[in-house]
Amino acid sequence: MAKQLNIGIVGYKFMGRAHSNAWKKAPLFFDVPSQPVLKVACGRHQASLQEFAQKWGWEETETDWKKMIARPDIDIVDVALPQNLHYEVAMAAARAGKHIFCEKPLAMNSRQAEEMLRVCEENHVTHYLNHNYRRLPAVLLAKKMIETGKLGRLFHWRCAYQQDWIVDPNFPLTWQLRKETAQAGPQWDLNSHAVDLAHFLIGDIDTVSALTTNFVTERPLADESTSGNLTAETLGDQKGPVTVEDAALMLVQFQNGAVGSFEATRFATGKKNGLTFEIYGSKGSVKFDLERMNELQYYSLNDEAGEQGFRTIQATDPTHAYMQGWWPPGHIIGYEHTFVHAVVDFLWAIDGNKPIEPNFSDGLRILTVLEAGLESAATGQRVKLN
Ligand code: SOE
């Protein structure tokens, strides 16, 4: 493979690791048009950055992301940072003509998202927003079944994204629990994924009603140097206020007449990274559960009377999206594979000078729904979009 693309990654914690793995694996398993080169890893703390770079095979380190973006040999900027830092880094990257692979949620608000999209378009860079669950073979099977009319007219979308990593009231006040760094709680972090899936599978949303709540209102301050994998240590005994919601529930009407519900929480004791959705239509239904991510449940009204029932389809043979790149039929894949799929499509998008989805335009649409949800929760009123 003659062509090479040099990557500069900013951020080296959970997502930094997930992205690094994907850059490395993509050309090993898939046909890609260019070889991604793990060129520069960027972060604030030189010692831990160095350790990360060595482990994952990044050639160089840099503690000033502006210097990294200014380098003419960097082709792609990978934004693996908390959302309060996306705007500044992505804007600089786009202005410098770099393609952008950005973690979700896109930004702190739709105003920032609008500008990020505009500047990317003005500078003709490829922009990708990493709502990785779209690239699960079972989710793509659901999409294909909807598009080929297997479910008929869509009536219901029912989605729950449930985690439990802050159930302990002594879990520290990490950046995810403070408005200035996260903007919102599970509404941003988890419902952004859920709304992206709903846009992808059902369509645009017309109205939103929501409520949010807090179960724990103050927590011990966090030692952020120890945070990164949804764990962290406290910084002494001092406490501070939790300034984002702990759970967010939304009810929506889609433009096509379907109705939907979204439940996002970090207080679903026992659920670590539970994401389920159900879609009910006039001819059939599908159900998906991330904890069984290689499967899709399907119910068809076309099955004979007396033989109807949900059946399990294993999305693990070469007819299913991306599976031909991996193992022989029936061999399952996992969470990290979705990041690899995204990298493969991103490299092809750059090569063909074509957009990839989801991108910053999708991110803007998602944030508009999430903001409407927060507005509805604050006012008690249903909010109409557009
Ligand atoms: C934390 O809730 C988190 O890491 C999300 O930010 C990711 O998007 C999700 O994939 C796993 O959980």
Q: Is 273 in the pocket of ligand 1 (CB under 6 A)?
A: yes
State which ligand 1 atom lies nearest to the alpha carbon of 192: 8
Q: Which residue has the tokens 């929501």?
A: 210
Please give the distance, rounded to the nearest whole angstrom, from the Cα atom of residue 78 to the centre of ligand 1: 17
Q: Are residues 172 and 193 in the same domain?
A: yes
Q: Are residues 100 and 236 in the same domain?
A: no
Please give the distance, rounded to the nearest whole angstrom, from the Cα atom of residue 246 to the centre of ligand 1: 14
Query: What is the C-alpha to C-alpha distance for residues 263 and 250, in angstroms, rounded to an integer?
Result: 7
Q: Is 130 in the pocket of ligand 1 (CB under 6 A)?
A: no
Q: Are residues 110 and 233 in the same domain?
A: no
Q: Is 212 in the pocket of ligand 1 (CB under 6 A)?
A: no
Q: How many CB atoms within 10 Å of residue 63?
A: 12
Q: Is 386 buried (19+), middle (13-18) or exposed (0-12) by CB count in 10 A?
A: exposed
Query: What is the C-alpha to C-alpha distance for residues 159 and 325, in angstroms, rounded to an integer?
Result: 29
How many structural domains is the chain composed of?
Answer: 2
The residue whose CA has the least distance to atom 11 of ligand 1 is 273
Please give the distance, rounded to the nearest whole angstrom, from the Cα atom of residue 186 to the centre of ligand 1: 9
**Domain's final residue, options 118, 133, 148:** 133
Residue 199 CB-half CA count within 13 A? 23
Question: Which CATH number do you get for residue 330?
Answer: 3.30.360.10
Q: Are residues 204 and 65 in the same domain?
A: no
**Domain's final residue, options 133, 149, 177:** 133
Q: Are residues 22 and 64 in the same domain?
A: yes
Q: Which two tokens stand for residue 66?
A: 């502006």
Q: How confident is the model at residue 237 (pLDDT cuts 50, 70, 90)?
A: confident
Q: Which two tokens stand for residue 40?
A: 């520069």
Residue of 190, 195, 267 to mutate, ligand 1, most atoms within 8 A of C-beta: 190
Helix 137-147 with 191-201: angle, nearest 10 deg: 40
Instruction: Evaluate whether residue 359 is within a structural domain.
Output: no
Query: What is the C-alpha to C-alpha distance for residues 137 and 142, in angstroms, rounded to an integer?
Result: 9
Q: Are residues 162 and 310 in the same domain?
A: yes
State which ligand 1 atom lies nearest to the alpha carbon of 266: 2
Q: Are residues 198 and 302 in the same domain?
A: yes
Q: Which residues pair with 156 in a beta bridge?
A: 259, 280
Q: Is 189 in the pocket of ligand 1 (CB under 6 A)?
A: yes
Q: Are 71 and 96 in contact (CB under 8 A)?
A: no
Query: What is the C-alpha to C-alpha distance for residues 119 and 3, in angstroms, rounded to an integer?
Result: 26
Query: What is the C-alpha to C-alpha distance for residues 237 and 221, in angstroms, rounded to an integer?
Result: 8
**Domain's final residue, options 85, 106, 133:** 133
Instruction: Evaluate whether residue 323 is within a structural domain.
Output: yes
CA 319 from chain centre, in angstroms, equals: 25
Query: What is the C-alpha to C-alpha distance for residues 59 and 263, in angstroms, rounded to an integer?
Result: 42
Q: Are residues 101 and 211 in the same domain?
A: no
Instruction: Evaluate whether residue 339 is within a structural domain.
Output: no
Structure confidence at residue 79 (pLDDT)? 98
Q: Are 317 and 323 in contact (CB under 8 A)?
A: yes
Structure confidence at residue 1 (pLDDT)? 58
Query: What is the C-alpha to C-alpha distance for residues 98 and 329, in angstroms, rounded to an integer?
Result: 38
- What does R_g of the chain's alpha carbons equal in angstroms? 21
Q: Is 109 in the pocket of ligand 1 (CB under 6 A)?
A: no
CA 147 from chain centre, in angstroms, equals: 23
Instruction: Evaluate whether residue 90 is within a structural domain.
Output: yes
Q: Are residues 45 and 58 in the same domain?
A: yes
Q: Are residues 302 and 162 in the same domain?
A: yes
Report CA torsion sign: 288, 342, 258, 105.
Answer: positive
Q: Is 192 in the pocket of ligand 1 (CB under 6 A)?
A: no
Q: Tell me the per-residue pLDDT of 151-178, one tens digit each, with 9 for 90 and over.
A: 999 999 999 999 999 999 999 999 999 9
Please give the distance, rounded to the nearest whole angstrom, from the Cα atom of residue 233 to the centre of ligand 1: 19
State which ligand 1 atom lies nearest to the alpha carbon of 14: 4
DSSP helix/strand/coil, 160: strand
The residue whose CA has the least distance to atom 12 of ligand 1 is 273
Q: How confident is the model at residue 66 (pLDDT cuts 50, 70, 90)?
A: very high
The residue whose CA has the least distance to atom 3 of ligand 1 is 189
**What's the average model confidence in pLDDT over 353-374?**
98
Please give the distance, rounded to the nearest whole angstrom, from the Cα atom of residue 189 to the centre of ligand 1: 7
Above 90 in pLDDT, residue 231? no
Instruction: Evaluate whether residue 347 is within a structural domain.
Output: no
Q: How confident is the model at residue 229 (pLDDT cuts 50, 70, 90)?
A: confident
Structure confidence at residue 236 (pLDDT)? 83
State which ligand 1 atom lies nearest to the alpha carbon of 189: 6
Instruction: Evaluate whether residue 351 is within a structural domain.
Output: no
Residue 136: C-alpha distances to residues 18, 306, 385 (Å): 15, 32, 29
Q: Are 203 and 365 in contact (CB under 8 A)?
A: no
Q: State ipTM.
A: 0.96
Residues 207-218 as b or e (16 or more Cβ within 10 Å = b): bbbbebeeebee
Q: Are residues 29 and 141 in the same domain?
A: no
CA 128 from chain centre, in angstroms, equals: 11
Above 90 in pLDDT, residue 54? yes
Q: Are 52 and 59 in contact (CB under 8 A)?
A: no
Instruction: Evaluate whether residue 329 is within a structural domain.
Output: yes
Question: Which CATH number do you get for residue 129?
Answer: 3.40.50.720
Please give the distance, rounded to the nearest whole angstrom, from the Cα atom of residue 135 to the centre of ligand 1: 15
Instruction: Evaluate whether residue 162 is within a structural domain.
Output: yes
Question: Which stretch of 7-11, 123-127, 228-232, 345-349 has the lowest confidence by average pLDDT?
Answer: 228-232
Q: Which two tokens stand for residue 102?
A: 């950005």
**What's the average model confidence in pLDDT over 248-273?**
98
Q: Are residues 238 and 119 in the same domain?
A: no
Q: How confident is the model at residue 225 (pLDDT cuts 50, 70, 90)?
A: confident
What is the span of the domain harbouring residue 197? 135-334+366-379
